[in-house]
Chains A and B, each alone.
Chain A
Amino acid sequence: MKNFKVYTTLFVFSIFLLLGCSEDSVNQNTTTSSESSVGGGSTGQGGSTTRFTIANDHLYIVTSNTLYTYSLANASKPEFKEKVWLSWGVETIFSMGSHLFLGTQNGVLIYSIAEPTKPLRVGTYTHITSCDPVVAAGNFAYSTLRTTDRCNRGVNRLDIIDIEDITNPRLLHSYTITNPQGLGISGDYLYVCDAGKINTYDIRNPRAGSSLIHSDVLFGCYDVIVKNNVLIVVSVTGVTQYDINPANGGLTKLSSIERQ
């Protein structure tokens, strides 16, 4: 009898989740770095630790100190356009609209790609030396900072940055956490890999602050991709996928691909 009750509850809950999913798919894609099929054909989507991004029909690649620009006007033959010297310790790239956000070991560099072949530095957010990726949605950017062997004087925290004025990024809130890595946005929720856990933050009102609302254990978690209502998480042991409950950001495991 008890089991029956549990199953009934689960069943009702699943229906609720399914309904929630279809509803939410309309409101998705607040992060413009997500997969898109508008403009110059269909492009894919990487995690926050990627060094490659496609924006405005151009491929942008960062190495530790240089930004490379290729035109994809002819997708089968990328045409090299530009090579821009950045600074040291560049690790990640994220695009939103006509801007690129570069995660570096001493801050976030913001480039305008209004003229796609001439990336132009428009804003800089500087922080203490740490390893960090960055993602953005609307007027806010989210960056994790962590200490590693290479960034051993760093700090471990999540920064919320106001980018309404993109030329003057300002720190709004800073939360000390354990050892954060990759992160991703799904509508009202921010997912952050932090020392073997996936933390869910409520980001409905980033100016007021973000509260940690869930924490799911996933050993060695280091980056995420949000696709529709699915959170794809990569860890040192493989790839685990979760269904996102749009009502509260909660995660339900769907599958995992395990390392050998």
Chain B
Amino acid sequence: MAKVCNNYRILEEQLNYIPNMKKLTLCLAVCTGILLTSCSDNETTKSVIGLRPIYGTIDDIQNFVKSTEARELTSVGKIYTYQDYLFINEVGSGLHVYNNQDPKNPVALKFISVPGNVDIAIKNQYIYADMGSGIITIDMSNLDELVITDFSTEYLEENLDVRPPQHLVDQLNISGKVYFECIDRSKGKIITWEKQEMPQPECYIAN
């Protein structure tokens, strides 16, 4: 995409040197139309599953954790059982919650979004879930209205501010390049990395 657009800029500069501006303006408009179409086309076809840095402070992180409608599995992560519940991690983005009372017919209940999550453990209705820069504690007594009861930051992924954590990269189960949105220092501190579908970014890790 970048290449096509750069070519367009060069074309524009070259055309500026030629007289008979009116004709050229018209031509330019048509060209722009064609080029723009090709740009957006490229964008949609080159969409990849990648990791996106989430910038902010520790206080922001709790706002990302919420209960949403059940959704389809895409990147299947680790599994966990608690009482009649079955949890399936959506690598780097959260937890699919199933009622597994009848293993012949597990019923999707909710999706809990927890950016950067890979592992959990549960005790007495409290879910302990990792995020890049800490462990969040979620009271799941009411799955429709989750309550965050704690966030501790002793646990911290190393190099979080430089690249996505290796265990998250590995868990994506992508052989070859794992893409991530390039880090923009001006946006602040990275608190976690979330799995997302995105236009293919320039940055990647050769896994």
Interface residues of A (CB under 8 A from B): 35, 40-47, 49-54, 59, 61, 63-64, 68, 70, 72, 75-78, 80, 83, 149-150, 223, 225, 227, 230, 232, 234-239, 241, 243, 254-255, 257-260
Contacts and interface: CB of A to CB of B under 8 A. Distances in A.
B154 A83 contact: yes
Interface string B1-19: 0000000000000000000
Contact of A236 (B125, B158, B173): B173
Given A50-B119, A241-B106, 11 more contacts: A44-B123, A46-B119, A47-B79, A50-B78, A51-B118, A75-B125, A80-B154, A238-B76, A239-B86, A255-B103, A260-B73
A63 B157 contact: yes
B186 interface: no
B120 interface: yes
Interface in B42-86: 72-74, 76-83, 85-86
A35 B150 CA distance: 23
Contact of B106 (A44, A150, A257): A257
Contact of B122 (A43, A63, A70, A238): A43
Q: For chain B, what secondary structure do more than half of its interface residues adopt (helix, strand, loop), or is it mixed?
A: strand
B166 A230 contact: no
A78 B130 CA distance: 13
B32 interface: no
A103 B198 CA distance: 34
Given A149-B175, A236-B173, A257-B73, A43 B166 contact: no
Contact of B150 (A47, A64, A78): A78
B152 A59 contact: no
Rank and list the top 9 A-B pairs by shortest CB-CB distance, nearest first: A44-B82, A260-B72, A44-B122, A52-B121, A76-B149, A80-B154, A41-B124, A241-B103, A77-B150
A78 B82 contact: no
Interface of B: 72-74, 76-83, 85-88, 98, 100, 103-106, 108, 118-126, 128, 130, 135, 137, 139, 149-150, 152, 154-155, 157-158, 166-167, 170, 173, 175, 207
Given A80-B152, A254-B104, A225 B72 contact: no
16 contacts: A35-B81, A43-B124, A46-B80, A52-B120, A52-B121, A63-B158, A68-B155, A75-B123, A76-B139, A77-B149, A78-B150, A149-B207, A238-B76, A241-B103, A243-B103, A255-B104
Contacts of B139: 76
B78 A223 contact: yes
A80 B153 CA distance: 9
A105 B173 CA distance: 18
A70 B88 contact: no
B121 A46 contact: yes
A237 B150 CA distance: 33
A70 B135 contact: yes
B141 to A, nearest CB: 11
Nearest to B87: A44
A64 B167 contact: yes
